[in-house]
Amino acid sequence: MTRLVVVADDHEGGELAAEIIADQVEANAASVLGIATGTTPLTTWAALAEHGLDLSGVDAFALDEYVGLPQGHPESFESVVHREVVVPLGLDPTRVRVPVSHGVDPHLAAAGYEQSILEAGGIDLQILGIGRNGHLAFNEPGSTLESLTRVAPLNAETREDNARFFSSVDEVPTECITQGLGTISRARTLILLAFGSHKAQALAAALEGPIGVQMPASIIRSHPDAVVIADRQAAALFGTTGADRLASA
Ligand code: PGA
């Protein structure tokens, strides 16, 4: 079942997501967490850091990574995850994986990453953002619902959105390795975060439109344990049907 919780802002949303993560880790100190990058989860990491929880026994897998950036590039997700998640939260860096392809055929790296998730016992709790076009991780519209970790193209809108992290859009890679929609669906719990009016259209389509390949984030409605945490702006176009509204701030 998909639950929707509408919060006042991204800080309240981050606190709620951090509480769910903390409950998971308190129940199992060796939990496997799925990490999203981007702006959306930043308030979650900040709130989780405030908890002061010992996260050193946690395994973590990032959702995606660019293909083609040099190792150590500050905007590679390997660098971003280290800077924004591993260090502030005190994760053990040897237990945190990002689907990098340094010196390796990216297709092989992608298949190996999928295998690593399986070998870790699967992801217990996956944090997700949503793209303006409804993408989930870097699964752009058209990605199959069963897709696994793979090399995938980044579409123009996504590259434009991510150009803010680079000096120009031309520097944004054109390919990535991303967990697939099938991979994400296998995580035992999903938390989808959406903050800001620029996410409203995609969120409404994901929660109320058809479930299918044209709206990757719609797959969360087929998941047995998914919660959507959206601020009022992101939830503005959401009607009264669709996911159950659990709470409204
Ligand atoms: P954002 O990205 O958190 O930076 O908005 C989310 C996404 O594109 O999935």
Residue of 130, 162, 199 best suited for mutating to test ligand 1, as the one with most atoms within 8 Å of CB? 130
Instruction: Report pLDDT for 238.
Output: 83
Protein residues whose CB sits closer than 6 Å to any atom of ligand 1 = 38-40, 129-131, 135
Can you tell me the mean pLDDT for 113-124?
Answer: 98
What local confidence, expressed as pLDDT, does residue 239 receive? 72
The helix/strand/coil state of 115 is helix
Asked if 199 contacts 193 with a C-beta cutoff of 8 angstroms, the reply is no
Digit-coded pLDDT (tens) for 210-247? 999 999 999 999 999 999 999 999 999 987 444 444 43
Tell me, yes or no, if 124 is annotated catalytic.
no
| DSSP string across 166-218 | SSSGGGS-SEEEE--HHHHHHSSEEEEEE-SGGGHHHHHHHHHS--BTTBGGG
Q: How far is the CA of 101 from the centre of ligand 1 (A)?
A: 22
CA distance 68 to 104: 11
Percent of the chain scoring above 70 in pLDDT: 96
Q: Quick one: which atom of ligand 1 is closest to the CA of 138?
A: 9
- 37 within 8 A of 71, measured Cβ to Cβ: no
State the distance from the centre of ligand 1 to the C-alpha of 204, rounded, in angstroms. Answer: 16
Is residue 120 over pLDDT 50?
yes
- 123 pLDDT band, cuts 50/70/90, is very high
Check if 133 is active-site.
yes
Residue whose CA is closest, atom 7 of ligand 1?
131
Question: What average pLDDT is seen over the chain?
Answer: 94
Q: Is the pLDDT of residue 248 over 60?
A: no
Of 135, 162, 223, 231, catalytic:
135
What's at 127, amino acid-wise?
I
Closest Cα to atom 8 of ligand 1: 131
Is 54 catalytic? The answer is no
* Contact criterion met (CB below 8 Å) for 183 and 171: no
Higher pLDDT, 22 or 249: 22
Residue 28 is among the residues annotated as catalytic for this protein: no
Among 10, 15, 64, 65, the active-site one is 64
Encode pLDDT of 34-80 as tens digits: 999 999 999 999 999 999 999 999 999 999 999 999 999 999 999 99
What percent of the chain shows pLDDT beyond 90? 94
State the average pLDDT over residues 135-145. Answer: 96
Question: Pick the catalytic residue: 133, 139, 161, 231?
Answer: 133
Segment 124-137 mean pLDDT? 97
Unique residue bearing structure tokens 């984030």? 217
State residue 241's pLDDT score: 42
**Spatial CA neighbour of 122 closest among 211, 191, 30, 40:** 30
pTM: 0.94
pLDDT at position 242 is 44
Q: Decide which of 195 and 242 is more confident.
A: 195
